[in-house]
Amino acid sequence: MLDRSLPQIDELYKEIILEHYRNPYGRVPVKRTDYQAEGVNPLCGDEVKLGVELEGDKIKDVQVEAHGCSICVASSSMLANILQGKAITEAKKISTFLKDIMQGKVNGREIDIGDLEVLSGVKKFPLRIKCALLPWTTLDEAFVGHDHVEMS
């Protein structure tokens, strides 16, 4: 079935996005929620709810409830997948890097972002950039409290 909400992007990219959309990562509830946040993208109707469980200073698991278009759900799934086992500082780096890619600030790939790479195909469609970044801006919000801990 064709997802009409998908903009005209590379077929291979589309396939990867739809694969995440159909079988998203992050659907298993975390045992303990150390950080959480919710985000909404009113332009598209996307909603994301995140819960992060830590083990030491590493992210053990991320639980994501994403509702909305395929790009938002796929990006949420990729987030849950790539952040497993990462330190919070690494997670923030990936988040910043992805935003820079979307804003056309970087073209290089100095960080391995796995499937997230395909989301760069969306940057030609300004309205959809918010869909792709919603889980990541929500993640930033979840970690706001962490910054305060680091500073004190």
For residue 56, the minimal CB distance to Zn ion (Å) is 34
**DSSP SS3 for 57:** coil
Choose between 94 and 134: whose C-beta lies nearer to Zn ion.
Answer: 134
Phi/psi at 52 (nearest 5 deg)?
-115, 130
Classify 54 in phi/psi space as left (phi over 0), alpha (psi -120 to 50) or beta.
beta
Choose between 72 and 82: whose C-beta lies nearer to Zn ion.
Answer: 72
Choose between 59 and 135: whose C-beta lies nearer to Zn ion.
Answer: 135
For residue 72, the minimal CB distance to Zn ion (Å) is 4
Choose between 98 and 131: whose C-beta lies nearer to Zn ion.
Answer: 131
Task: Give residues in contact with Zn ion (CB under 5 A).
Answer: 44, 46, 68-69, 72, 131
* DSSP calls for 4-51: TTS-S--HHHHHHHHHHHHS-S--SPPSS-SEEEEEEETTTTEEEEEE
For residue 152, the minimal CB distance to Zn ion (Å) is 37
* DSSP calls for 72-141: HHHHHHHHHHHTTT-BHHHHHHHHHHHHHHHTTS--S--S--GGGGGGGGGTT-HHHHHHHHHHHHHHHH
For residue 125, the minimal CB distance to Zn ion (Å) is 10
Choose between 6 and 88: whose C-beta lies nearer to Zn ion.
Answer: 6
For residue 44, the minimal CB distance to Zn ion (Å) is 3
